[in-house]
Structure 1
Amino acid sequence: MQRAAMLAALALALLLQSALTSALESNTVRAAADEPIWGYQCVKERCERVLVHDAEGRARAVQALSVCKLTCGTSANLWPRPRHLHTSKTLDWVNYSSINVETRGDDGSDYRNHRGGSLLQQASELFREQQMRKATIKDGTPLVKTGGKTLEVTVSLRDPGRHQLTLNTDEGYELFVKIMSDGRINTTIIADNFFGARHALETLNQLIVLDDLEKQLRLPREVTIRDSPAFPYRGVLLDTSRNFVSVDAIKRTLDAMAASKLNTFHWHITDSHSFPFVSQSFPKFHLYGAYTPAEVYTPTEVVDVVAYGRVRGVRVLPELDAPAHVGEGWQWVGDNATVCVKAEPWQKYCVEPPCGQLNPTVDKVYDLLGGLYHDMLSLFKPDMFHMGGDEVNFNCWNNTDSIVEWMVKKNLSGRQEDDFRMVWDHFQKRAYEKLVEANHGHELPVVIWTSGLTAPGKVDRYLDPKKYIIQIWTKGDDPLIKELAEKKYRLIFSNYEALYFDCGFGAWVGEGNNWCSPYIGWQKVYDNDLKKLLRNLGVEPDQTSVLGAEATLWTEQADSHSVDGRLWPRAAAMAERLWSDPVTGWQAAEYRMVSHRERLVKLGVQADSLQPQWCHQNEGYCYLSHNIQGEH
């Protein structure tokens, strides 16, 4: 009995000692968590991770990683890199709750009285919200201390009335930061219009970083930036027909585009697979063509997406692809308006199932197109329009009796490729007339894909270079590009070997990999130099021949859950190519690219990871050769 009591007492003592040890260890861990172990120092223009204290316990002069990346090197960790940039290495503490954006003109006029000024007001609110998100609560703990200097932002616009982006819009800006005598941080933004000012606010947003060592928002004490894009068209195409993509996913794409200074969201909204666009003129299209009643884009949602993009400096460009790539949604029309719909074997009638094309000989087709154009123009209010026009299958038309009979009446009985191009030309001219009519009689720039209508030696028979912009999806060394440039067509590059982001995955028809494999890494996207492509073809590029480029995501194998990772951060690599037109390759941009991916993730974009996080924290150690980049 006595022995049992002694054992019980010993067990209790051991239990108390264990609890005390656990408590001490917990307090030690908690105390250690409050004190940083690692910091960063700038060594040869890269951020080296070092212990905060040396072996003797002496404190080192270290910075937070965000601060080091901001001050180390010549690019201030900005993406895309500004064309002219100077920032001081000395930073100031910004009071996140005292940020004022003044949008009145020098003459005292209120920009809010102008539509461009109203957009600026909304963009200013968004800028303030971004700083609050950097500074506010995480897991119940404030990220920054209260205090710091007031940030005064003054925006001056030469054209406050401009509210729509066009191919001729000046998107340049000047940005200056300096400390006032009363201690306030003064930032001046000068731009021609809202769109340039919005880009300046994005740059300023990237210059304000969270210092997790000092618990402050920090901004360089002096900044001088003069910046403008190298190309006026900087786009992302998203296909929402093959798989439905939610409005929330579309808005995340617009957020990422704004952070990267891309300016055109090309909405491939319908195709042969589904018709999710809700037409007010012909509501049966979506009733017959949507995957489900819930997977549609209502007029209210379209207007919302357009407004959301515009505040972020992004035009939303609609595409109604025709005369091919139609099918689902058209079943109610009748009158033989569509042909080859779900034709089998599909390989004879289209490039992928399901097949379907419009019948250019049926008048009702043009009445329907006119109504759809009217609906899209009234909702999107675009400055340009995409008419699609790719992958027309002549064999489909050749096996349609009514089309062949019509061709005979038009003396096109040879049924050769040029005869079918004449049929296509008939369609294109009538469709274009309906587009102009829907736009109240006013012409607007039209984009069309490279296709059989743009075949070598044929294109200028059918397409007026003053009216049509050609979007290139073939490879960047296609000799057709030279012909198009020499014939003064304006070009948008989506050369598939660098800018088709659906490449490199498993085939969805059959087995193996899909047709355009392999996967395209961000490095190849970054080095897709448009001017170099033209020079390699023997053409000297000028300011009008190349409008820019567009990354594309066709969604046979992507939807709302995977769009972010397929597009980002690779589309951002293209963004710097189009904005900065760098003379160096991807190696010089790698550190900043990895950082920009982290920036996108903090925006809520599920961007693919490029490297282990260790590489982000240990610059210069993740490389294939000893040619380590310096500038970042």
Structure 2
Amino acid sequence: MVLSNCRGIFSMLLSLWLLASTPVLAIWPAPSSISTGDSTLWIGPMLSVSYNGKPLPWTFGYEPKGSQFSSSEIVKGGVGRAMKSIVQSNFVPWMLYNRMELEQTEPSLSKPKTYVTHLDITQTKADTSKTFKPLAGDVDESYSLDVDKSGKASIKAVSSTGVLRALESFSQLFFQHSQGPFFYTKSAPVSITDKPEYDHRGVLFDVSRSFFPMDSILRTIDAMAYNKMNRIHIHATDSQSWPLEIPALPELHQKGAYAKGKTYSPSDLATIQQYAISRGIEPIIEIDTPGHFGIAALSHPNIVAGWESAPWTAYCAEPPCGQIRLNEPSVDPFLDKLMNDLLPRVSPYSAYFHTGGDEVNFNMYKLDPTVATNDSAVIVPLLQKFIDKHHARVRKAGLVPMVWEEIPASYNVTVGKDVLIQSWLGDEAIAALTAQGHKVITSNYNFWYLDCGRGQWLNFAGADLATYYPFPDWCSPYKNWRLVYSYDPRANLTGDQAKLVVGGELAAWSESIDDATIDDILWPRASAAGEVLWSSPKGRSQFEAAPRLAEFRERLIARGIKSGTVHMPYCTQGQNATACLYQ
């Protein structure tokens, strides 16, 4: 009885606190520091903007072009997108109010209006080449944003990237009025000071298991920018298909793509890279090696071992099998040609290149005539030689290699201290890697594999039907936003180890994902991770996060991102997250 009463009092107090919250607190991800008032300001399409003391003319939909990046062009594009979000892609925030209370609570259109008429942007340091192709930690993304009661708005940031993050927060201050195209905030004055907790905040986008049209990739980059994420990792090839056009080796896509036209041309790749950088997002390209490489057998059978070997379960993680031969003389000339074509088209846009390295199956090398054994004593030295040569190619192009954790952790292959390790096997793996001094990004499959829990994509027959019923996938259950939000990438690490975890990526492996479903798969679950990586939810609960995430989801929908749901509206309407409290 006492416990029940305590729960009731807690729920009531929490409810009152949440109801007292103002709409501006819905900013996602949560800023480091924010203060708000209760005055109303309006905004329209005639906003004037200055950048470092000079007028900055802007237009809706402006897109910087080319590979030579200009700070003012980056900021100009950011202003145009922010204003489009405010006055062309906004929404009526009925869910911020209790049932049927919106019209009685939103500001009156008939009363005099104070407008935000000018935005003053100051960048305190000049951008460098590292701003647009940074290693983790190279860019200061911090900013401050102030809007006073008279409508004067100002942004101060160290870099143009910080300006973009501030403009995203600015765009989230405003809502559309229920009576028409009028846009307001009820929370002036607003003062925000903000910076990210982690330097690497990303999404892994697999375009090889399923083919995704360009619009799908660009739309995902937009959604990442709305979430202040800053890395898109494109898993460009795998054993199932080779959609990436390599002009020096056209036979790779001509024979390895799923169909004619289901490819990405050099122009497409440049578009993706430039589009990302203009939004403060670094594109990282992965060609997985030496495993997950089977498709190259269709054009270069001499460099691949075990193509389509059966039973596949004995030779690879998923069909079709095929790995690069480890002692074949023609492999090095092939990889030289491949990398000499691709890396110069990557290096203007990224500091990293991902060389893969996951799920190498030693049994496969029984089928490799240049190895003919699965003995690790034979294979590991060959893997070491392969990685040393391949990472030398990457470094020669001025890029830093990335690898999956199996290379150092499972195969005992030595990698350089510059190499960034991507870990997916869980907290113990991260602890072991950081204890050895490796820099790590986490994609812990227990929390951040977004393809999990949707059922098997393999087919079963005969006796297997009973064995595998009800056909869960290997990494079930489904990771809902609460689980994603609960993950702490630096949990149980020492201070020195924690510093080596530079961030993380949500993984969208595409065996059962395509263009029709990618938005629902990623969002709002990746938004939850976006807040973990931006401002670390320690001290914040689901009760505090749920109304903000539900509101932010409405912003994603208004901006053309077909996000999944957070709750039914009943659970958070009026910013009261206790309506669906488990008791």
Fold match by TM threshold 0.5: yes
Give the Å deviation of 1:530.
1.4
Whether 1:492 aligns to 2:441 is yes
Which of 15, 22, 39 is matched with 1:90 structurally? Answer: 39
Which of 214, 239, 244 is matched with 2:211 structurally? Answer: 244
Give the Å deviation of 1:607.
0.9
Q: Residue by residue, what CA displacement relative to the aligned partner does 1:574-628 show, whole Å, maximum 9, x if unpaired?
A: 01011111213333211111111111111111111122233343533542435xx
Bigger radius of gyration among the two: 1
Q: Distance in 1 between matches of 2:440 and 2:305?
A: 31
Which of 240, 257, 265 is matched with 2:224 structurally? Answer: 257
The equivalent residue for 2:367 is 399
CA contact (8 A) 1:145 1:215 kept: no
Aligned CA distance change for structure 1 residues 202 and 422 (closer, same or farther; 3 Å): same
Deviates more, 1:539-548 or 1:284-293: 539-548
Letter in 2 for 1:571: A
Aligned CA distance change for structure 1 residues 348 and 136 (closer, same or farther; 3 Å): closer
Instruction: List alignment gaps of at least 5 residues for structure 2.
Output: 1-13, 59-63, 93-107, 461-467
Letter in 1 for 2:86: Q
The equivalent residue for 2:356 is 388
Which of 540, 545, 552 is matched with 1:596 structurally? Answer: 552
The equivalent residue for 1:586 is 542
- Does the residue aligned with 1:90 lie in a helix, a strand or coil? strand
Q: Distance in 2 between matches of 1:131 and 1:587?
A: 27
Whether 1:347 aligns to 2:313 is yes
Q: Distance in 1 between matches of 2:282 and 2:409?
A: 26
Letter in 2 for 1:251: L
The equivalent residue for 1:174 is 144
Q: Distance in 2 between matches of 1:436 and 1:377?
A: 10
Instruction: List alignment gaps of at least 5 residues for structure 1.
Output: 1-41, 49-67, 138-143, 405-412, 627-632
Aligned CA distance change for structure 1 residues 453 and 88 (closer, same or farther; 3 Å): same
The equivalent residue for 1:70 is 23
The equivalent residue for 2:18 is 46
Q: Distance in 2 between matches of 1:79 and 1:527?
A: 16
Give the Å deviation of 1:110.
11
Which of 475, 487, 496 is matched with 1:516 structurally? Answer: 475
TM-score after normalising by structure 2: 0.85
Q: Distance in 2 between matches of 1:114 and 1:312?
A: 11
Q: Residue by residue, what CA displacement relative to the aligned partner does 1:258-310 show, whole Å, maximum 9, x if unpaired?
A: 11111111100110000000112211111011101121111111111112211
Q: Distance in 2 between matches of 1:134 and 1:348?
A: 51
Q: Flag the structure with more relative contact order, 1 or 2, with Cα contacts below 8 A and sequence separation at least 6.
A: 2
Q: Identical aligned pairs, as a percentage?
A: 28
The equivalent residue for 1:149 is 115
CA contact (8 A) 1:370 1:435 kept: no
Q: Residue by residue, what CA displacement relative to the aligned partner does 1:120-161 show, whole Å, maximum 9, x if unpaired?
A: 111122222222304799xxxxxx979762431111112333
Letter in 2 for 1:400: D
Q: Distance in 1 between matches of 2:119 and 2:180?
A: 24
Aligned CA distance change for structure 1 residues 135 and 490 (closer, same or farther; 3 Å): closer
How many residue pairs align between the two structures?
Answer: 527
Give the aligned CA root-mean-square deviation in angstroms: 2.7
TM-score after normalising by structure 1: 0.78
The equivalent residue for 1:129 is 84
Which of 429, 433, 452 is matched with 2:388 structurally? Answer: 429
Q: Distance in 1 between matches of 2:516 and 2:369?
A: 44
CA contact (8 A) 2:315 2:363 kept: yes
The equivalent residue for 1:448 is 403
Q: Distance in 2 between matches of 1:428 and 1:114?
A: 33
Q: Distance in 2 between matches of 1:346 and 1:114?
A: 47
Aligned CA distance change for structure 1 residues 69 and 315 (closer, same or farther; 3 Å): same
Letter in 1 for 2:529: M
Q: Distance in 1 between matches of 2:36 and 2:117?
A: 17
Which of 255, 274, 289 is matched with 1:307 structurally? Answer: 274
The equivalent residue for 1:197 is 163
Aligned CA distance change for structure 1 residues 294 and 214 (closer, same or farther; 3 Å): closer
The equivalent residue for 1:565 is 520
Aligned CA distance change for structure 1 residues 69 and 283 (closer, same or farther; 3 Å): farther
Which of 423, 433, 444 is matched with 1:472 structurally? Answer: 423
Q: Distance in 2 between matches of 1:194 and 1:449?
A: 31
- Does the residue aligned with 1:544 lie in a helix, a strand or coil? helix
Whether 1:211 aligns to 2:159 is no
CA contact (8 A) 1:135 1:210 kept: yes
The equivalent residue for 1:27 is none
Q: Residue by residue, what CA displacement relative to the aligned partner does 1:204-249 show, whole Å, maximum 9, x if unpaired?
A: 0001222326863113331211100000000100111111111111
Letter in 2 for 1:201: L
Give the Å deviation of 1:46.
3.2
Letter in 2 for 1:99: L
The equivalent residue for 1:371 is 337
The equivalent residue for 2:463 is none
Letter in 2 for 1:448: V
Q: Distance in 1 between matches of 2:390 and 2:407?
A: 17
Give the Å deviation of 1:179.
4.3
Q: Distance in 2 between matches of 1:542 and 1:313?
A: 27
Give the Å deviation of 1:104.
3.2
Q: Distance in 2 between matches of 1:484 and 1:136?
A: 45
Q: Residue by residue, what CA displacement relative to the aligned partner does 1:519-564 show, whole Å, maximum 9, x if unpaired?
A: 11110110101122x33xxx33556311111100111111111111
Aligned CA distance change for structure 1 residues 255 and 114 (closer, same or farther; 3 Å): closer
- Does the residue aligned with 1:304 lie in a helix, a strand or coil? helix
Aligned CA distance change for structure 1 residues 43 and 583 (closer, same or farther; 3 Å): closer
CA contact (8 A) 2:39 2:149 kept: no
Aligned CA distance change for structure 1 residues 103 and 542 (closer, same or farther; 3 Å): farther
Which of 308, 311, 324 is matched with 1:358 structurally? Answer: 324
Q: Distance in 2 between matches of 1:273 and 1:558?
A: 14
Q: Residue by residue, what CA displacement relative to the aligned partner does 1:92-120 show, whole Å, maximum 9, x if unpaired?
A: 122x12112212358x9999997222211
Letter in 2 for 1:435: V
The equivalent residue for 1:141 is none
Which of 284, 288, 291 is matched with 2:251 structurally? Answer: 284
Aligned CA distance change for structure 1 residues 189 and 543 (closer, same or farther; 3 Å): farther
Letter in 2 for 1:523: R
Q: Distance in 2 between matches of 1:78 and 1:550?
A: 21
Letter in 1 for 2:32: R
The equivalent residue for 2:61 is none
Q: Distance in 2 between matches of 1:109 and 1:276?
A: 40
Deviates more, 1:587-596 or 1:319-328: 587-596
CA contact (8 A) 2:245 2:252 kept: yes
Q: Residue by residue, what CA displacement relative to the aligned partner does 1:150-182 show, whole Å, maximum 9, x if unpaired?
A: 4311111123333414112111111111245xx
Deviates more, 1:611-620 or 1:346-355: 611-620
Give the Å deviation of 1:90.
1.3
Give the Å deviation of 1:376.
3.3
Q: Distance in 2 between matches of 1:483 and 1:527?
A: 22
- Does the residue aligned with 1:401 lie in a helix, a strand or coil? coil
Q: Distance in 2 between matches of 1:553 and 1:170?
A: 28
- Does the residue aligned with 2:538 lie in a helix, a strand or coil? coil
